Amino acid sequence: MIEAECPNCHAKLSVPEQYAGKSGKCKSCGASVTVPAPPGAAPAESVGWAPAEEAPAAPQPPPPPVAPAPPPVQPAAPPVYAPPAPAPSGGAMDGLIPTKNPSALIAYYLGVFSIIPCIGLVLAIPALILGIKGLQFANQFPQVKGKAHALVGIIMGGLFTLIYGGCLILWIIAMAQGG
């Protein structure tokens, strides 16, 4: 061991020989101390023999950013238009008689009565037209019912339109040929 004296606090320092001729820190005050070099020693090199200070604790990483709040839920779509609910007085009859779908109801009766000869053609054509309108109305607003009545009007009206229309055309042709 080499005896060295701190130039600052004059503490007696025992320095291992391997540090001879080198500089280090005083254990007492931390001042720089040059250890006396024995003859033929290596050139001075700054090496401290004081216990290495503990490295300061690594700074804590910042907490992860808080996840952003989810976007607000999209507002519900505005309610689509719905026809008013059937009146309570209508009750069970709504399913049988489509009072809310007059086109289908009229088409139904026109189609039924178009079976009557002579006036049948006059009833069958509007039955077909009103039946189509009633069916479209029933498809647009299923609550109003009347699809079955409209279909009856379309079928009966279309059928008798063809029958009476064909008969009318045949009658016109016969009249033309007879004349």
Structure tokens of 85? 């609910």
- Cβ closer to Zn ion: 14 or 143? 14
Measured CA to CA, the distance from residue 54 to residue 23 in angstroms comes to: 20
Number of residues that bind Zn ion (CB under 5 A): 8
77 Rama sector, left if φ>0, alpha if ψ -120 to 50, beta otherwise: beta
Contact of 60 with 66, CB cutoff 8 Å: no
Of 2, 9, 112, 159, which lies in the binding site for Zn ion, with binding defined by CB under 5 A?
9
Does 14 interact with Zn ion (rule: CB under 5 A)? no
Q: CB under 8 Å, gap of 24 or more: what pairs does 10-17 form?
A: 15/49, 16/49
Does 26 interact with Zn ion (rule: CB under 5 A)? yes
Binders of Zn ion among residues 28 to 87 (CB under 5 A) are: 28-29, 31
- Cβ closer to Zn ion: 31 or 41? 31
CB of 61 to Zn ion, least distance (A): 38
Per CB under 5 A, residues contacting Zn ion are 6, 8-9, 11, 26, 28-29, 31
